[in-house]
Structure 1
Amino acid sequence: MKNLQEATERICELKGSLVALDALVPAVLEALSEPTRARLSATFDAYAEAARTVLLHAEISDVVLASFERDVARNRAVLQGSRRADAPAVDALLLATTRVATFDGSRALTSASGFFFRRGERLFLVSSAHVFADTASAHHPDRLEIVLHTDTRDLSRHAVVSLPLYDDGLGLWRQGRDGGGAVDVAVIEIPPGLLPADATLQAFDESHLEARGEEVAAGDTLSIAGFPLGFHDTVHHLAVLRSASIASAYGVRFQRQGCFLTDARTHRGSSGSPVVRRRSRAGDQASPLAWQLLGVHSTRMDMRSRDLAEDESLGLNCAWYADVLLTLTEAR
């Protein structure tokens, strides 16, 4: 009788502990940013699958397995439903894209577009190389300013971060070259100390460069997220998207340069925008960015021989292949 009483008391203690955990988990999730919750959800699924494999090869009862599956489903529902109802549903692409303003001291110069790329623990800002410096137009800024969201529930809340471009006269950015010459893509590392403690952003990574079995070909539908002529949602600090399609043979270096063509309607200020294709397969990646990163928008293409009175603009653009980012973000 004593053993039965001890067992009953132990079961009651376990029930009390589970109730306490049920109260703790939502409180912890409420304190996490949206990207962190998304990563946590993906990580939980991975660990649950590993635990499931162990249980299936262990000598345990069906009751234990059933309880495990029930609690996994319950915890997954808590994770997926943790975002508050008043939190805006924003595509992660818009939180991975930022407006880039260039300055010479306090003097504002130009406005462009950029996006975030993560390589391991390091975070980079990506844009066109001519945004960082352009001798042909005598464009020589000494710093950039970017906008970071600080609250996914209130997108009007933001912080402006200034990135110096030089240290003791040496440029801090990296820009690309290949066998065809200069590549109009550049990156600059964002030191963790410059990020606000409550910064909420998304970032592409190496997994977004992978096709993952999906064929990419001429004519495919694309999106270009950026700030044409600086235009954007100035209340929520979000980019706008242009629809486009691949207008040249994808995977072939157009005129032997590391780029392909798109046919989006673009303007000044779009330089540095990510050129992306929405995934048709969800896959198993942890990132909420359901896009394949194909390129970096550079500039409009046109014919010098075009009759300005008789002929419309070609409406074509140059996008540099995004795999150059693997070279530009390598550890040195």
Structure 2
Amino acid sequence: MIESILLTAARLTTFAQSTLLTSASGFYFERDERLFLVTSRHVVSETGHNPDRLEIEIHTNAENMAESTGFSIPLYQNGKSIWRQAQDGTGDVDVAVIELDRSALPASMVYRAFKPEHLEYSEEQAEVGNSLLVVGFPLGFHDTLHHLPVVRQATIASSFGLRFQGQGYFLSDARTHRGISGAPVVMRTPESAALGGLPYILLGIHSARLDVGTRDLHADEALGLNCSWYADILMTLTEN
């Protein structure tokens, strides 16, 4: 049995035409029968990084996870970007969603998707210091035979529900690397019929590591804290 949480994540590679640019992480979110790919906005566009398509790796055989195929997703149509992004009072939110055409996906695609029910949590579940998981592909690293992500342990490192320094994210304490941008930040919860066999709360979308500009690179270790944008932004970005 493959743990359901591992089937929510997608390994992303970005391209400018045929030139490979970067690798990143993403995950699936489903709402009203529509399926979305979620990642960080800076994965699809930022200063000096302008891919025109991305590719995800898709499992195609539930009986043999070693079988997979690449699925290419254009980032522009008729000169316009196809991803959705948002802004708040402080600027851009570092989250992007792309609606996937289900009819173009392999009929045998094996995956699990978060749904709006996975965004619901109690104050007790999301207290500072509580354990989290970050599911993704750090430095592109993964199980290359079965095409599955790896999981990093994390903890909530700032008051959950508050916008850290006025930004739309909370902090997580975890060892992360390039390539894990766009990964889901989740918390295990008891089994529930409402969660459809995916017993996790989706709290955030991993964005970037934080550091202190005055840190002595020789005397001080890296801060080890990360930005995780609040996952409830998905309800705005996936509105019909």
Residue 109 of structure 1: aligned partner? 21
Residues 197 and 314 (structure 1 numbering): CA distance in 2 closer, same or farther, change over 3 Å?
same
Residue 168 of structure 1: aligned partner? 78
CA deviations on 1:253-288 (whole Å, 9 max, x unpaired) are 000011000111000000000000000x32331521
Residue 132 of structure 2: aligned partner? 222
Residue 177 of structure 1: aligned partner? 87
Is the counterpart of residue 124 in structure 1 residue 36 in structure 2? yes
Is the counterpart of residue 284 in structure 1 residue 196 in structure 2? no
Map 1:170-319 → 2, pairs under 5 A: 170-211=80-121, 215-279=125-189, 281-319=190-228
On the 8 A contact 2:28/2:113 being kept in 1, the answer is: yes
Counting matched residue pairs gives 240
On the 8 A contact 2:191/2:197 being kept in 1, the answer is: no
- Give the Å deviation of 1:327: 0.3
Map 1:147-158 → 2, pairs under 5 A: 147-158=57-68
- Give the Å deviation of 1:150: 1.1
1:326 to 207, 232, 235: 235
Structure 2: distance between partners of 1:104 and 1:93? 30
What's the TM-score once normalised by structure 1's chain length?
0.71
Structure 2: distance between partners of 1:238 and 1:212? 30
CA deviations on 1:45-99 (whole Å, 9 max, x unpaired) are xxxxxxxxxxxxxxxxxxxxxxxxxxxxxxxxxxxxxxxxxxxx11111111010
RMSD of aligned Cα (Å): 1.1
Give unmatched runs, 5+ long, in structure 1: 1-88
Give unmatched runs, 5+ long, in structure 2: none
- Give the Å deviation of 1:131: 0.3
- Give the Å deviation of 1:179: 1.8
Greater RCO (Cα-Cα under 8 Å, separation 6 or more): 2
Structure 2: distance between partners of 1:193 and 1:130? 27
Structure 1: distance between partners of 2:69 and 2:196? 23
Larger CA deviation: 193-202 vs 253-262: 193-202
On the 8 A contact 2:118/2:195 being kept in 1, the answer is: no
Q: State the secondary structure of the residue aligned to 1:139.
A: coil
CA deviations on 1:187-207 (whole Å, 9 max, x unpaired) are 001111220011111000100
Residues 212 and 101 (structure 1 numbering): CA distance in 2 closer, same or farther, change over 3 Å?
same
CA deviations on 1:172-230 (whole Å, 9 max, x unpaired) are 00112112221100000111122001111100010000016753110000000000000
On the 8 A contact 2:117/2:195 being kept in 1, the answer is: no
Greater strand proportion: 2
Structure 1: distance between partners of 2:122 and 2:109? 30
On the 8 A contact 1:159/1:196 being kept in 2, the answer is: no
Q: State the secondary structure of the residue aligned to 1:93.
A: helix
Paired amino acid for 1:159: T
Structure 2: distance between partners of 1:214 and 1:316? 22
Structure 2: distance between partners of 1:154 and 1:212? 37
Shift >4 Å, 4+ stretches: none
Paired amino acid for 1:97: A
Structure 2: distance between partners of 1:214 and 1:123? 30
Structure 1: distance between partners of 2:147 and 2:229? 26
Paired amino acid for 1:121: E
On the 8 A contact 1:259/1:318 being kept in 2, the answer is: yes
Paired amino acid for 1:328: L
Greater helix proportion: 1
Paired amino acid for 1:102: T
Select the structure of larger CA radius of gyration.
Answer: 1
Q: State the secondary structure of the residue aligned to 1:263.
A: strand
